[in-house]
Structure 1
Amino acid sequence: MPSAFAESFTYENSKVKPDPFKLGIAGYTFINFNLDESLAMMKKVDVHYLCIKDFHLPYKSSAEEIAAFHAKLKENGITGYAVGPIYTKTRKEIDDAFDYAKRVGVDLVIGIPCMPTLIMLPKRQKNITFDMPSIIMALKINYTLMQKVSITSLKILMSE
């Protein structure tokens, strides 16, 4: 089933080129749903990438639990591409967030540290490929809007 918001398009030479973008859903979108319900909704809208939130895969998950989680995603044609958002106030919480990402097997952390801990990030950020302060600002600015859009989207999905 194709996405409700994206359509394939044909270039003038009539060859369809693959879409260069991979659409994903923030795990927080599914805060009021269990993992099975969340995966069913993702299938319904034909989205295959999930940012993993701790209410579906707790921070203290064992290697076996993480493997089972990824197996369930794979069975449903979904890939976990990041973890977060993860709010941090201390150096230990930052280290724990990066540890969690490493154990889960993703290379993207959506992190929201408090201002005093921002100076700690460059030490942890050296092996990742995004600009964390930019992501933090985007999340803080759009947080309320994202909540409203997520709730509205889920109401539409549930009514179909």
Structure 2
Amino acid sequence: MSYRIGFGIDFHQMVEGRDLWIGGVKIPYHKGSLGHSDADVLLHAICDALLGALALGDIGIHFPNTDERFKDIDSKILLKHCYDLISSKGYEIVNVDAAICLEAPKIKKYSPEMRAIIAAILEVSLDDVSIKATTTEKMGFVGREEGLVAYANALLKKK
């Protein structure tokens, strides 16, 4: 059986006047992520992990921020496209493990909903999606709430 692993990372600035979308969930907060799409840092990192596992480039290649078709697009649509792409190559997901770095807001109570959304899109069980969160102990741009970061690993296997 052929296995492939991919790693993804994404960064977004946090600004006033934008919604905060993480893991497909809109989280109430006075700041949101700045980006061409809805700027869902977690889903973008997972997209890159899926694409990277099969050497299919990155999210910027598939959904360039210069293309108006993707302006303010729901990142769940991007994740579904990445999933469909790896499926068309004959692979399925074993599991996804992700971490989000942000000082605030606390997202623990939103994590179950995020996992459910991601699992449904990727057609895996809830137990196959892990989401963790951490702060940077007030250090750096994340600690100053200027931005947030997400990391993701995805393990794929040949169908």
Would you tell me which structure has more strand in proportion to its own residues? 2
Query: Larger RCO: Structure 1 or Structure 2 (Cα < 8 Å, ≥ 6 residues apart)?
Result: 2
Specify the structure having the higher radius of gyration (Cα).
1
| TM tier, smaller | 0.3 to 0.5
TM-score, length basis structure 1: 0.32
TM-score, length basis structure 2: 0.33
